Amino acid sequence: MSQPDRRLTLIRDGVAARVLEGVVAADRYLDPTARQCAVTAAAIRKTPAPDAEQEDQLLFGEVFDMLLEEGGFSFGQARRDGYVGWVETAALHSPIEAATHRVHALRTYGFSRPDIKSRPIGLYTMNALVTVEAREGRFVKAVGSGWFIEAHLAPVGLALATDPATVAEKFLGAVYQWGGRESLGLDCSGLIQQALTACGRACPRDTDMQQAGLGTPIQDDHPRRGDLVFWKGHVAMMLDETRMIHANAHHMAVAIEPLADAIVRIRNNGGGEPTAYRRP
């Protein structure tokens, strides 16, 4: 059997998800248990420790298929894109609720009452999922959460955004956060995933996955708005033929800069030349 990608393969210490039987070798195969993210954002970590590297994030309402528990952490797989890792068990709950809406605004508060003067109970980022159970005026009540301004939500399956570059621009100035997907902090591939997801388009999580699986290759001489430029371990989205937007550790933020300047800077810092241009 071929070596599986640990980021996408639900196996740990000889225990694997039952759907992998015959695909990967394991001592036991189990059916994962569906859990749901119950906090505004939860880290998916590389190992079961609170200070372990964050490789991804779950947003509120996203489903996590749990295989094992260990020391206050759950090992499982994000149903959104198949990413595997460890999430603090306290950040998850069951049974899961079928989402009816997702956050369409860059970020929005959930309030304790249907009143903008009431106590905010959390700040929810774009593409978080909620299940609406009641309405009052301009507010809707979400299961397991608070009252939201309905205009900040969109029904699941309805993509109100059509231009991923416009979505990416909403994150301008957000702090760079390794493994992040939330509006207050995210990384380069997280920005691309959030922008495409908001437009109703599936997107893998990491840059190598995006380079391998998104769209079609293009020439580098005439990029257009929405095209992607890849380096080893990095990705940016073009805003026009000359400018790009990306979450990056140089600015420690989501920033816009000329593609030509970025190519020179990344080369001079040892990051090499662009590895691909793709049109998603």
Burial class (CB in 10 A: 0-12, 13-18, 19+), 166: middle
Q: 11-93, what's its fold?
A: SH3 type barrels. (2.30.30)
pLDDT mean for each 10 residues of the chain (280 residues): 85 96 96 98 98 98 98 97 98 96 98 98 98 98 97 94 97 98 97 97 97 94 95 98 98 98 97 97
What was the pLDDT predicted at 3? Answer: 77
Output the six-digit token pair for 27. 């001592």
- Rounded to whole angstroms, how far apart are CA atoms 6 and 3? 9
What distances in angstroms separate CA 120 from CA 40, 41, 92, 111, one per listed residue?
12, 16, 21, 4
What was the pLDDT predicted at 2? Answer: 57
Q: Is domain 164-279 given the CATH code 1.20.200.10 in the classification?
A: no
Query: Model-level pTM?
Result: 0.96
- Rounded to whole angstroms, how far apart are CA atoms 164 and 206? 17
What was the pLDDT predicted at 221? Answer: 83
Q: Is 157 helix (H, G, I), strand (E, B) or coil?
A: coil
Domain ranges of the chain: 11-93, 103-155, 164-279
Q: Is 68 helix (H, G, I), strand (E, B) or coil?
A: strand
